[in-house]
Structure 1
Amino acid sequence: MAPTTTVQTLTLEAAQAAVAACEAKARSIGVPMNIAVVDHATHLLHFARMDGAKITSISIAIDKAFTAAGHRIGTHKYKEAVWPGGAAFGIWNSNGNRFTTIGGGLPVVGSNGAILGAIGCSTGTPAQDQEVSQAGIDAVQKLLKGDGPKSKL
Structure 2
Amino acid sequence: MLTLDDAKRIIAAAEKTATDDVGQPMNIAVVDAGGHLLAFVRQPNAWLGSIDIAINKAFTARAFDIPTKKLAELSQPEEQFFGIHASNHSRVVIFAGGIPLERDGAIVGAIGVSGGFSKQDQAVAEAGAAAL
In the superposition, the TM-score normalised over structure 1's length comes to 0.83
Let me know the Cα RMSD of the aligned residues: 0.9
Per-residue deviation, 1:127: 1.3
Residue equivalent to 1:27: 19
Aligned length: 131
For residue 80 of structure 1, give the secondary structure of its aligned residue in structure 2: helix
Q: Which residue of 2 aligns with 1:150?
A: none
Aligned counterparts of 1:12 and 1:87: Cα–Cα separation in 2: 35
Overall identity of the aligned pairs, in %: 48
| Aligned residue among 89, 96, 101 for 1:96 | 89
> Of the candidates 108, 119, 127, which is equivalent to residue 119 of structure 2?
127
Higher strand share goes to which structure?
2
Q: Which residue of 1 aligns with 2:54?
A: 61
User: Normalization by structure 2: what TM-score?
Assistant: 0.95
1:85 pairs, out of 58, 78, 96, with: 78
Shift of 1:70: 1.3
- The alpha carbon displacement at 1:60 in A equals 0.2
Q: Which protein shows a greater Rg?
A: 1
Q: Secondary structure at the residue paired with 2:61?
A: helix
Mapped to 2, the partners of 1:104 and 1:70 lie a distance apart of 14
Q: Runs in 1 of length 4+ with deviation above 4 angstroms?
A: none
**Deviation of the 1:91 alpha carbon:** 0.1
Structure 1 residue 39: Cα displacement: 0.3
| 1:97-127 superposed Cα distances (whole Å, 9 cap, x missing partner) | 111111100011111x210100000011111
Letter in 2 for 1:133: A
Question: Are 1:137 and 2:115 matched, yes or no?
Answer: no
In 2: Cα distance, 1:136 partner to 1:125 partner: 17
Structure 1 stretches lacking a partner, 5+ long: 1-8, 141-153
